[in-house]
């Protein structure tokens, strides 16, 4: 990949991550400054922790399903982008989302 493409993408990702971290810190600070009960504060923090776990689970399952899709494409020996390649990748993403839905329902 060309350096002229990677640097702006990395900069955008870093700025986005820092913005999210600052917003989360500001929310926590406001909750601590406000006279909220410890139960409400605990519920908010537990909700954030659960959300982080679900996001990590989502990325893990989707990355694994995409890896299986790319593996199937390599196994079939397809080297060019074609409707079949796009269909396999779309199916891999769809199956990954269905597996994620089933796993989250069990949790």
Q: What is the pLDDT of residues 45-98, one digit of tens each?
A: 888 888 888 888 999 999 999 999 999 999 999 888 899 999 999 999 999 999
| Domain assignment of residue 29, yes or no | yes
| Domain assignment of residue 86, yes or no | yes
Give the count of domains, the chain. 2
Question: Which DSSP string corresponds to 47-92?
Answer: HHHHHHHHHHHHHHHHHHHHHHHHHHHHHHT--S--HHHHHHHHHH
* Higher-scoring residue by pLDDT: 34, 98: 98
Domain enclosing residue 31, as ranges: 1-35
- Is the pLDDT at 1 greater than 70? The verdict is no
Angle (CA) 63 69 71, round 5°: 100
Average pLDDT over residues 19-29: 89
């Amino acid at each position: 990949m060309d350096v002229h493409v990677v640097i702006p993408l990395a900069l955008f990702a870093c700025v986005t991550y820092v913005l999210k971290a600052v917003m989360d810190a500001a929310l926590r600070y406001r909750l601590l400054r406000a006279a909220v009960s410890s139960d409400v504060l605990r519920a908010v923090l537990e909700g954030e922790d659960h959300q982080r776990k679900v996001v990590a689970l989502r990325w893990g399952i989707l990355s694994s399903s995409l890896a299986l899709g790319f593996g199937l494409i390599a196994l079939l020996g397809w080297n060019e982008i074609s409707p079949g390649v796009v269909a396999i990748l779309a199916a891999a993403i769809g199956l990954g989302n269905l597996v994620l839905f089933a796993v989250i329902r069990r949790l």
